[in-house]
């Protein structure tokens, strides 16, 4: 599919938008109980925006599901709730904190909660009997996502098995699955981070404020700028500094780092993204640095 895309100008965004809308309408036609994973971040916000365009003037026919680690940024939770109200969405929340409080999960020694999301996510999918789950994953983010299909079949235990993935030729998607299995769907697979930001600019899409440069107290850990919070830190020896930063992703605060930036406008963010030589996950996500195959291992367990 990528080889057929125009490479420059607005036409490229038109083609990517058309493909994503086509995928969403396919899911609406093939599945009974789809859901959109919605974190409040830019990629899941694009999914909501594209779903709105795909089914207008009807309401978005899918609920949204947030796997809340309990360590989310306050600005993002406020934004999530505002989007739910604006679009009249049904919000389902899978709470990692609830699982920790009742003993079904234990805090990790490193304080990182992103790896703990898998069990609440799979339980929520089973509880609501979702048979298709939209995710905002893109192939340019990380090597495990680069080989992902747009329709990604998951077992009855939510696991990703490479040998069971189907070829996707001529924009034909195979949604067949057995009872209890489900399909993860990635309409933004062929987008890049730069495409996402150009589309946000073109469509005037709102985002949480932390995507733009602001002054924040941060401390350095493992090559990233983390902010203090209930997730722990600063530790002894970690110095808090006031810096102008922004976030490229808005995941769990325990493992999501900020980047130094003065980009307060869309044009300035676009200029930074064009110059960047590191993917957003490689630059700012500690959970992807746990091992060479961290994302691959989590996919096999049922993670996004």
pLDDT digit string, tens, across residues 193-229: 999 999 999 999 999 999 999 999 999 988 889 998 8
CB 153 within 8 A of CB 111: no
The pLDDT value given to residue 5: 45
CA distance 240 to 40: 27
| Token duo for residue 13 | 């965004």
| Token duo for residue 229 | 């919070």
The pLDDT value given to residue 92: 98
- Looking at the chain, the domain(s) classified CATH 3.40.50.620 span 12-195+293-301
Task: Pick out the chain residues at pLDDT < 50.
Answer: 1-7
Sequence-distant (6+) residues with CB within 8 A of 105 are 96, 99, 116, 119, 120
HSE-CB at 60 with a 13 A cutoff on CA atoms is 24
The pLDDT value given to residue 70: 93
Dump the DSSP string for 133-157.
EE----TTS-HHHHT--SEEEE-TT
Give CA torsion, residues 207, 142, 258, 12, to 10 deg.
Answer: -40
Whole-prediction pTM: 0.88
Q: What percent of the chain stands above pLDDT 70?
A: 91
The pLDDT value given to residue 290: 54
CA distance 193 to 271: 12
The pLDDT value given to residue 147: 77
The matching CATH number, chosen from 1.10.510.10, 3.20.20.100, 3.40.50.620, 3.40.50.300, for 12-195+293-301 is 3.40.50.620
Length of the chain: 304
pLDDT digit string, tens, across residues 106-137: 998 888 888 899 999 999 999 999 999 999 99
Sheet holding 214-221, edge to edge: 224-227, 214-221, 240-246, 259-260
Query: Coil, strand or helix: which one is 273?
Result: helix
């Amino acid at each position: 599919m990528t080889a057929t895309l125009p490479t420059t100008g607005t036409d490229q965004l038109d083609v990517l938008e058309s493909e994503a809308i086509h995928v969403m309408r396919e899911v609406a036609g093939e599945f009974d109980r789809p859901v959109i994973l919605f974190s409040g971040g830019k990629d899941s916000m694009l999914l909501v925006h594209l779903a709105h365009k795909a089914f207008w003037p009807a309401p978005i026919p899918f609920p949204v599901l947030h796997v809340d680690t309990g360590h989310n940024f306050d600005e993002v939770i406020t934004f999530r709730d505002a989007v739910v109200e604006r679009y009249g969405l049904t919000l389902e929340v899978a709470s990692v904190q609830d699982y920790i409080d009742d003993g079904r999960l234990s805090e990790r020694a490193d304080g990182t909660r992103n790896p703990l999301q898998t069990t609440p996510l799979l339980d929520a999918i089973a509880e609501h009997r979702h048979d298709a789950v939209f995710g905002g994953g893109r192939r340019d983010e990380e090597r495990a996502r680069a080989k992902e299909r747009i329709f990604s079949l998951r077992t009855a235990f939510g696991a990703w098995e490479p040998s069971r993935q189907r070829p996707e030729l001529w924009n034909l998607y195979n949604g067949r699955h057995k009872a209890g299995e489900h399909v993860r769907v990635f309409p933004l697979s062929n987008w890049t981070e730069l495409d996402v930001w150009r589309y946000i600019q073109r469509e005037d899409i709102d985002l949480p404020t932390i995507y733009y440069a602001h002054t924040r107290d941060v401390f350095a850990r493992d090559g990233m700028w983390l902010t203090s919070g209930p997730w722990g830190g600063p530790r002894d020896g970690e110095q808090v500094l006031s810096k102008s930063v922004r976030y490229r992703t808005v995941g769990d605060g325990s493992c999501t780092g900020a980047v130094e930036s003065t980009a307060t406008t869309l044009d300035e963010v676009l200029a930074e993204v064009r110059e960047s030589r590191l993917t957003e996950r490689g630059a700012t996500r500690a959970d992807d640095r746990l091992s060479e195959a961290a994302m691959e291992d989590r996919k096999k367990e049922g993670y996004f």
